[in-house]
């Protein structure tokens, strides 16, 4: 697309060749838009159908777009549109959709003991001084988000192996009485 846009910029304004090139660039842009939209619909539909509960972090996407390092990748994947589609598809399929507050320190809180420590964005590994766990920052945040979602839904259990908790299915079979 960039190549075609460069060619378009070199065409003389008002010429037929510029008009043709604008149509070509517009077709490329439409194809990219349709491909992205198709991917978002298929992915959000798959997630909404296969999981009984979805927990997402309510991030400040507009603020993140101001960071020139993150802006291109965030804009390319359309996070806001994906969250919007995921939310309405969860409602459509009668699934739980939970948004965690954007100010919850998910990557700064230990998923093992709950200790909160300040961390710069450049530090990629979370090392807890309280319990000694060393875990990837993003994995730690995802575990914290999962735990908040499970506590919000009020489901937890004991793992047969004895390590940690087991999520119970949100979709339980109904009990019925037989006369």
Express each pLDDT in 134-159 by its tens digit. 999 999 998 998 988 888 887 544 44
pLDDT, residue 30, reads 94
pLDDT, residue 34, reads 93
Express each pLDDT in 5-39 by its tens digit. 887 778 888 888 888 888 888 999 999 999 999 99
Residue with tokens 């489901």: 155
Alpha carbon distance 169, 173 (integer Å): 10
Domains of the chain, by residue range, sit at 1-102, 104-168
Distance of CA 158 to the CA centre of its chain: 28
Express each pLDDT in 44-102 by its tens digit. 999 999 998 899 888 887 888 888 887 888 877 788 889 999 999 999 999 999 998 88
pLDDT, residue 166, reads 45
Q: Sort 90 into a burial class: Cβ within 10 Å, 0-12 / 13-18 / 19+.
A: buried
Whether the pLDDT of residue 177 is over 80: the answer is no
User: CA nearest 136: which of 146, 119, 145, 124?
Assistant: 124
Planar angle of CA 72, 78, 84, nearest 5 degrees: 155
Residue with tokens 């965690």: 100
Q: What is the pTM of this model?
A: 0.66
Planar angle of CA 55, 60, 62, nearest 5 degrees: 135
- Determine contact, residues 25/38, Cβ cutoff 8 Å: no
pLDDT band at 169 (very low <50, low <70, confident <90, very high): low
How close are the terminal C-alpha atoms of the chain, in Å? 69
The tokens for 177 are: 């009485």
Whether the pLDDT of residue 114 is over 90: the answer is no
pLDDT, residue 65, reads 81
pLDDT, residue 101, reads 86
């Amino acid at each position: 697309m960039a190549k075609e846009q460069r060619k378009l910029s070199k065409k003389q304004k008002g010429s037929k060749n510029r008009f043709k090139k604008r149509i070509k660039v517009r077709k490329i842009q439409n194809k990219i838009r349709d491909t992205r939209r198709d991917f978002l619909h298929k992915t959000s539909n798959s997630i909404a159908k296969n999981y009984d509960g979805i927990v997402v972090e309510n991030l400040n996407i507009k603020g993140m777009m101001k960071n020139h390092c993150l802006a291109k990748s965030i804009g390319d994947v359309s996070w806001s549109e994906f969250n919007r589609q995921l939310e309405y598809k969860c409602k459509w399929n009668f699934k739980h959709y939970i948004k965690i507050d954007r100010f919850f320190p998910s990557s700064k809180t230990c998923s093992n003991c709950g200790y909160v420590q300040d961390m710069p964005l450049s530090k990629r590994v979370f090392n807890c001084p309280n319990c000694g766990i060393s875990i990837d920052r993003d994995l730690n945040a995802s575990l914290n988000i999962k735990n908040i979602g499970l506590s919000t839904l009020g489901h937890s259990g004991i793992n047969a192996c004895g390590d940690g908790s087991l999520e119970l299915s949100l979709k339980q079979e109904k009990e019925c009485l037989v006369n």
